[in-house]
Amino acid sequence: METKANYVLIGMFTLAVIAGVFGFVYWFQNVGGTRERVPYRIVFQGSVAGLHTGANVLLNGIQVGDVTSLKLDPQRPKEVAALVNIDKSVQIHSDVEVGLEFQGLTGVAQIALKGGSPDSPLLQSSKEKPALLTAPPAATLDFTQAARDTLRRLDDFVAANQDIIKDALKNIDTFTAALARNSDRLDKIVAGVQDLTGGDDGKGGKLNEAAKSIRTLSDNLDQRTADISVNLNRLLVNGNKHIEVVGNDLHRTLGTIDTAVKNFDKNPSRLIFGGSGSK
């Protein structure tokens, strides 16, 4: 009897645990952690490698839903239709941008919604008629696909310019060989330039010595010019004084001559007979 009683208790406990789990899941989906969601249909024009059912749907980096299904359209082989459930409280505008984001190097993808102008109309979606969002062709390109495309373009470029690249490599090889053959001359040229310009410390060198000589000559010329200017000033001052004295003497001489002429005009006989010239 005790063994049978234990089996009954274990069975009842197991049923209670199962009922509790189902009750928690029901509460979480309908009342608790998850709000009511609205379906949207997103069409991708290309491969959606890395995207799977259950992947996150992000709006400006915040999770707002998840992917519920991925389907191919038999009428449009290049398109992939994804059905997503998004929180009903989230407003999705008609100009929202749709793309894929890849997490690190794992290649796991998630749908990323960005932007949306507040002036654009809101999308009306329901379970019976999910609103349609279309992703641009570039949205399905991950970084590995972009790298493959870049490498393919690079390979095409190399193939198209193979002869030019070979000629360029030959020219580079010829140039380096010429440099190797003339290494001694290059060393002499470098040594000559260093002798001309000076050492690493910036001292010495013919150019530096010439610059110093020119600077010294300029300083001497400045000093000589200053001395000449002083002497010219002195000469001008002394000359003005002498000119002033000569001018005064000349003025007195002219006055004397003028007086003599006047006297001659008045009494010309005085110049011949002397005296007053009056009888």
What is the DSSP secondary-structure string of 61-88? TEEEEEEEEEEEETTEEEEEEEEEEEET
Tokens of 158: 């190399």
Strands 108-114 and 97-103: antiparallel
Reported as a pLDDT band with limits 50, 70 and 90, residue 158 is confident
pLDDT at site 166:
82
Please report whether residue 57 resides in a domain. yes
Residues 6+ apart with CB under 8 A from 68: 39, 53, 83, 84, 85
Please report whether residue 48 resides in a domain. yes
Higher-confidence position of 82 and 9: 82
| Contact between 130 and 86 (Cβ < 8 Å) | no
Residue 271, pLDDT > 70, answer no
- What is the layout of strands, in order, in the sheet containing 62-73? 97-103, 108-114, 56-59, 62-73, 76-87, 37-45, 131-134
The CA distance from 40 to 92, in Å, is 10
Please report whether residue 270 resides in a domain. no
Nearest CA-CA partner of 54 in 117, 110, 5, 106: 110
Q: Could you list the beta-strand ranges (E) of 115-183.
A: 131-134
Tokens of 98: 């749709």
The CA distance from 58 to 112, in Å, is 5
Q: In whole angstroms, how far apart are CA 268 and each of 8, 9, 60, 107, 264?
A: 181, 178, 130, 138, 5
Reported as a pLDDT band with limits 50, 70 and 90, residue 148 is low
Mean pLDDT of 268-277: 54
Reported as a pLDDT band with limits 50, 70 and 90, residue 278 is very low
Mean pLDDT of 112-118: 84
The CA distance from 23 to 244, in Å, is 130
Please report whether residue 42 resides in a domain. yes
Please report whether residue 52 resides in a domain. yes
Residue 272, pLDDT > 60, answer no
Please report whether residue 32 resides in a domain. no
| Contact between 161 and 153 (Cβ < 8 Å) | no
Please report whether residue 152 resides in a domain. no
Which structural domain range is residue 99 located in? 37-140
Please report whether residue 214 resides in a domain. no
| Contact between 70 and 52 (Cβ < 8 Å) | yes
Q: Report the domain count for the chain.
A: 1
Tokens of 72: 């191919």
Q: Is the pTM of this model over 0.95?
A: no
